[in-house]
Amino acid sequence: MLATLLAYTVAAILLTITPGLDTALVLRTAATEGPRRAWLAGAGILCGVAVWGVLVALGLGALLAASQLAFTILKWTGAAYLAWLGVRMILNPRTRYAPEEEAQAAARRGSAFWRGFLCNILNPKVGVFYVSFLPQFIPAGANVPAWTAMLVGIHAVLTVPWFALLIAATAPLGRALRRPQVLKWLDRTIGAVFLAFGAKLALSSRP
């Protein structure tokens, strides 16, 4: 059992640090909106992970993996959301670091949190990945829902220090990253990344 958990932990670490949409979102939020909002985005991502974990533990993730219609609906919804975020960043990039009052207003709306949550929960590949990946690390005869919840929890816990590292990495470059031209370049670059991920999701198929 210990060997299984260690093997899963190594695999989860590699999964966590692999560059992807979550990494891009946290970095962009930290650079343009500050560490507090970046942590809100990270919290949204982790809540999305938790929801997927619950769905997979309850068996609903297997339904998503088996149903072409359900997968397609969620896939196109997620792709449309990413495309909307990307186009908005490209056409209306930030030119200044968010002032305190704007940050407080946005925090009340929970926009950073919901960006992170929706980017994760609208990606059906996450659920399908859990369905196909986690069973490899569940011992025969084990309580499947409990083990699934534990493995997803380990993945979420490992993600926290990774987000902390990403957010901390922007601190020494804070002044440079907040110059108007750099902010505009960052928003448009990350917007293009979001569009690319949206296109990739739209063209994807169930594994």
pTM of the model: 0.77
Quickly tell me which residue has 């829902």 as its tokens.
Answer: 145
pLDDT at 145: 84
pLDDT at 61: 66
How many CA atoms are closer than 13 Å to the CA of 124, on its beta-carbon side?
Answer: 28
What is the rounded average pLDDT of the residues 137-165?
Answer: 89
Q: Rounded CA gap, 171 and 162, in Å?
A: 15
Which ranges of 58-171 does DSSP label H, i.e. alpha helix?
60-66, 68-91, 100-109, 111-121, 124-133, 144-170
Residue ranges covered by each domain of the chain: 2-203
For the range 63-68, what are the long-range contacts, defined as Cβ-Cβ under 8 Å and sequence gap of 24 or more?
64/124, 64/127, 64/128, 64/131, 65/127, 65/128, 65/131, 65/132, 65/206, 68/206
pLDDT above 60: residue 207: no
Q: Rounded CA gap, 187 and 179, in Å?
A: 12
Q: Is the dihedral of CA 138, 143, 149, 150 positive or negative?
A: negative
Give the model confidence (pLDDT) of 7-45 as tens digits: 899 988 988 888 788 888 998 888 878 888 899 999 999
Q: Rounded CA gap, 2 and 16, in Å?
A: 21
Give the model confidence (pLDDT) of 89-118 as tens digits: 898 887 665 545 455 555 555 688 999 999
pLDDT at 101: 47
